[in-house]
């Protein structure tokens, strides 16, 4: 038996198509008792969670490792295509983008540490620290050019 056979209509005005027992007064959605309303609300919430879970990428999707800047850029390009072409939850992509940004920051920190180590290995320690301070300054600050030193050229005889 259908709920619509007992006179209940759905949102678009057609008879409700929910299958119910012959002894039931109505379906879950048309039950006006407080218990029925609570059950309908709970069902709506569950349905919302299930529909959002469907917007996830499949478990078989292979996430590329964020072990280099190039792999992060490649992943970002791939995800942009998925977001634009497929039905993917924007909150999930936002979280993934946050983790990619974290990995990129770690790569930048590693690169900066390598730069510091290289400068410390230079012969002239004081000059290395001055150069490091200049590199770490804001990029908007005006920079002075390095002093120019003319090379002596041999004149042809």
- Give percent above pLDDT 70 in the chain: 76
**Is 148 domain-assigned?**
no
Q: Are 130 and 92 contained in the same domain?
A: yes
Domain count, the chain: 2
Question: Kind and range of the H or E element at 46?
Answer: helix 34-53
- pLDDT value at residue 27: 78
Q: Which residue did the predictor score with more confidence, 123 or 84?
A: 84
- pLDDT value at residue 85: 80
As to burial, measured by CB atoms within 10 angstroms (0-12 exposed, 13-18 middle, 19+ buried), residue 27 is buried
pTM for this structure?
Answer: 0.42
**Is 152 domain-assigned?**
no
**Is 77 domain-assigned?**
yes
Q: Which residues pair with 15 in a beta bridge?
A: 9
> Which one, of 80, 92, 85, lies nearest residue 56 by Cα?
92
**Is 141 domain-assigned?**
no
**Is 122 domain-assigned?**
yes
Residue 40 has pLDDT above 60, yes or no: yes
Q: Are 80 and 123 contained in the same domain?
A: yes
Q: Are 73 and 115 contained in the same domain?
A: yes
- pLDDT value at residue 25: 77
Which positions ≥6 away from 19 have C-beta within 8 Å? 1, 2, 3
Give the separation between CA 100 and CA 38, rounded to whole angstroms. Answer: 41
Q: Are 45 and 76 contained in the same domain?
A: no
Q: Are 36 and 94 contained in the same domain?
A: no
Q: Are 40 and 77 contained in the same domain?
A: no
Give the separation between CA 75 and CA 81, rounded to whole angstroms. Answer: 10
**Is 149 domain-assigned?**
no
Give the separation between CA 66 and CA 107, rounded to whole angstroms. Answer: 9
**Is 10 domain-assigned?**
yes
User: What DSSP designation does 29 have?
Assistant: G
**Is 60 domain-assigned?**
no
**Which three-class secondary structure state does DSSP give residue 133?**
helix
User: For residue 23, what are the domain limits?
Assistant: 3-53
Give mean pLDDT, residues 118-137: 70
């Amino acid at each position: 038996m259908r709920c619509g056979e007992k006179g209940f209509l759905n949102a678009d005005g057609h008879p409700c198509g929910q299958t119910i027992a012959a002894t039931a007064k109505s379906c879950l959605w048309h039950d006006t008792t407080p218990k029925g309303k609570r059950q309908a609300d709970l069902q709506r919430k569950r349905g919302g969670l299930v529909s959002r879970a469907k917007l996830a990428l499949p478990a078989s999707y292979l996430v590329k490792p964020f072990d280099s800047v190039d792999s992060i850029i490649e992943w970002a390009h791939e995800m942009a295509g998925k977001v634009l072409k497929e039905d993917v939850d924007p909150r999930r992509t936002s979280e993934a983008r946050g983790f990619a940004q974290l990995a990129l920051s770690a790569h930048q920190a590693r690169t900066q540490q390598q730069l510091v180590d290289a400068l410390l290995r230079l012969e002239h320690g004081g000059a290395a620290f001055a150069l490091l301070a200049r590199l770490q300054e804001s990029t908007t600050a005006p920079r002075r050019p390095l002093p120019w030193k003319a090379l002596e050229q041999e004149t042809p005889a």
